[in-house]
Structure 1
Amino acid sequence: MTSSARLDDATRRELLNTMLLIRTYEEAILREYHADKLPGFDIGAGLVPGEMHLAAGHEPVAAGVCAHLTRDDALTGTHRPHHIAIAHGVDLRAMTAEIFGRETGLGRGRGGHMHLFDPATHFSCSGIIAEGLPPALGQAFAFRQRGSDRIAVAVTGEGAANQGAFHESLNLAALWKLPVVFVVEDNEWAISVPRAASTSIPSNADRAAAYGMPGIRVEGNDVEGVYRAAEEAVARARAGGGPSLIEVHTLRLWGHFEGDAQGYRSDLEGVPGRDPIPTYQVRLIADGVVSDGDVDVMRASAAERVEDAIEYAKSSPTPDPHHALDYVFAEGAHA
């Protein structure tokens, strides 16, 4: 069981700081994405064309899990990836340039926001549902074969927990006792389908027992609860104890994608009141961990970093159409 002792003040401040940086980033991407798509919303227009899936409300998952990872650990994400990428230390400038489709991006502008790959931090994501789980197993297997204590973490959504790849991955990870942690973000909506209409049990954490691994569900979008659950799961994986499953009941503050009218949601009116950042901020101020001034400094620092990344992306060159296939396929002679 996880400890009930209060986290130290430095850790709590850093959790809030990480969440504020993520939210500041997502708000800036939201601003830039919509700036030139009006008056009529055109998904193909503007500096950032195509779909955009933002993670406002999911910050506790990223902050709580990634606090226990190093740059040498692997992390795979979904089509909603910015929060965990930021918390894992992916370079803000290179990630933003990729989102803007620029040559200085992580994938030289070829992948966009749903296909971020960063070898420096072993981070990757995909627009395919549950696609990140099998690669995490491969990374975990490689880490173990090399005799290291590195681990892999696969983050996915509650809708993906009904995909075959989810169950196949849990089964193989348990069978081979791989150093991997599975994290399910339950924001209650798989696009427009509520969890209760798609999943036969209230908690995907209960599915862990069927594969012989520990499973825990963190309620209330509580960053400290996520931190404690991840601490135990990561330690177990590093020590050779095998995989674990963590499900976090989190919140999607905005639409499934930008432009989503969300007519299917009956809970929208009460969503702002469930925002995890002001909730945690008030909690830390009441405990004397931070002051209003401290939070202002955190926000200012986050804004400076984010706006620097935005300006870097905007000033970076777009890929030359004549070289559109460069860096897409492997090049060189083959026997």
Structure 2
Amino acid sequence: MSIDARRAGVPAQAREPARPAPLDPEVRVELFETMVLCRSYEEAILAAYHADKGPGFDIGKGLVPGEMHLSAGQEPVAAGVCAHLTVDDAVTATHRPHHLAVAHGVDLRRMTAEIFGRETGLGRGRGGHMHLFDPATHFSCSGIIAEGYPPALGQAFAFLRSGTDRVAVAVTGEGAANQGAFHESLNLAALWALPVVFVVEDNDWGISVRRSASTSVSSNAVRAAAYGIPGERIEDNDVEAVYAAAGRAVAHARSGRGPSLVEVRTLRMWGHFEGDAQGYRDDLDGIEHRDPITRYEQVLLDADLLDTETAAGIRERARERVADAVDFARESPLPDPSTATDYVFAEEASS
């Protein structure tokens, strides 16, 4: 199919979210399980990060030195999007990447070891939590705003040229939608009809700046129209609505019709980074009542798809998996300082 043929018929406006069809009960429970695993992981990293930062708060001290950006509240995006992907599909994430890595199947042990700076980590402890690279699942992330969009185009171009139906998913925050890389990527993806799904996590805050103070449109989904691709916004952080929208976007890409954009109004329950006092926020009162996992659990309880005992079992199994990963990381060796310059460049295998 030619590029022009793939581009033909793409609506040039943000589409209204379609009413989701009833989901299979097993899928609904699996979405809950994924969200619980993501949250359990973040809670464990939070505890490890703060365990030895005192006295006071020294960002350079402790088991996990450096910055830490956690994604509690944004689990519906990861669960709803990644449910449609396989390990052959690519995901590029942001500086707040753990929920997406967990949902996409990145090995928990090796990811945790990387966050802890250990030799057994995904990058042998060199990258830390903002630079997770996993070739086994085609997952990557970056601390640079909107940096993940251009690499996703490269992956999608390779998928297209190889004649597969693989897709690339590029995730970023709403603040990155004002970056040049965002617009350049949408333009090129549309021009070449690349199999990309652009996902924008709108958690209302670009660090400490409200989106309304930095962005001229109320929905980044409408920006898709400028590039002649479908755009859709989910307003309520509902994992089933995300699942439905992502399903449409992934199917659109797999069928050779090019890129789509999905924006989700999600929630950042914790600070921009650990240590953020959040004095700028006026939306913290009652934030626990907006917890998407608690809300979705109640939905499933009301639908008789869960009972309290089953839900407790799901949480316990998630905690056990995460505890195993943390133990593995703690017991792994730190990199030998003499190897600090290793793995900087590719090395040819000796003959």
TM-score class, shorter: over 0.9
Show the 5 A alignment for 1:143-162.
Answer: 143-162=159-178
TM superposition shift of 1:154: 0.2
Show the 5 A alignment for 1:185-334.
Answer: 185-332=201-348
TM superposition shift of 1:270: 2.6
* Structure 2 CA distance for aligned equivalents of residues 164 and 76 of structure 1: 17
Alignment of 1:9 with 2:22, yes or no, is no
Identify the match of residue 60 of structure 1 among 76, 89, 94: 76
- Per-residue deviation, residues 279-319 of structure 1 (Å, max 9, x unmatched): 00001000111111111110010000000000000000000
* Structure 1 CA distance for aligned equivalents of residues 30 and 348 of structure 2: 45
Q: TM-score, normalised by structure 1?
A: 0.98
* Structure 1 CA distance for aligned equivalents of residues 135 and 67 of structure 2: 24
Gaps of 5+ in 1: none
TM superposition shift of 1:21: 0.3
* Structure 1 CA distance for aligned equivalents of residues 255 and 20 of structure 2: 22
TM superposition shift of 1:272: 1.4
Alignment of 1:92 with 2:108, yes or no, is yes
Amino acid at match of 1:216: E
* Structure 1 CA distance for aligned equivalents of residues 318 and 71 of structure 2: 16
* Structure 1 CA distance for aligned equivalents of residues 306 and 344 of structure 2: 47
Instruction: Quote the residue 2:145 is aligned against.
Output: 129
Contact 1:51-1:258 at 8 Å conserved across structures:
yes
* Structure 1 CA distance for aligned equivalents of residues 19 and 258 of structure 2: 20
SS in 2 for 1:269: coil
SS in 1 for 2:264: strand
Contact 2:152-2:170 at 8 Å conserved across structures:
yes
Instruction: Quote the residue 1:37 is aligned against.
Output: 53
* Structure 2 CA distance for aligned equivalents of residues 150 and 76 of structure 1: 14
* Structure 2 CA distance for aligned equivalents of residues 265 and 328 of structure 1: 40
* Structure 2 CA distance for aligned equivalents of residues 96 and 179 of structure 1: 31
Amino acid at match of 1:117: F
Instruction: Quote the residue 2:14 is aligned against.
Output: none
Amino acid at match of 2:143: G
How many residue pairs get matched? Answer: 333
TM superposition shift of 1:331: 2.6
Instruction: Quote the residue 1:120 is aligned against.
Output: 136
* Structure 2 CA distance for aligned equivalents of residues 280 and 317 of structure 1: 39
Contact 2:20-2:241 at 8 Å conserved across structures:
no
Instruction: Quote the residue 2:179 is aligned against.
Output: 163
TM superposition shift of 1:322: 0.5
TM superposition shift of 1:3: 4.8
* Structure 2 CA distance for aligned equivalents of residues 224 and 254 of structure 1: 23
TM superposition shift of 1:328: 1.9
* Structure 1 CA distance for aligned equivalents of residues 270 and 147 of structure 2: 23
Contact 1:2-1:232 at 8 Å conserved across structures:
no
SS in 2 for 1:310: helix
Amino acid at match of 1:30: L
Contact 1:205-1:217 at 8 Å conserved across structures:
yes
Amino acid at match of 1:155: V
Q: TM-score, normalised by structure 2?
A: 0.94
Amino acid at match of 1:119: P
* Structure 2 CA distance for aligned equivalents of residues 154 and 309 of structure 1: 26
Contact 2:133-2:141 at 8 Å conserved across structures:
yes
- Per-residue deviation, residues 216-269 of structure 1 (Å, max 9, x unmatched): 000110000000000000000000010000000000000000000011101111
Give the percent of matched residue pairs that are identical in Structure 1 and Structure 2.
72
TM superposition shift of 1:330: 2.1
SS in 2 for 1:268: coil
TM superposition shift of 1:211: 0.4
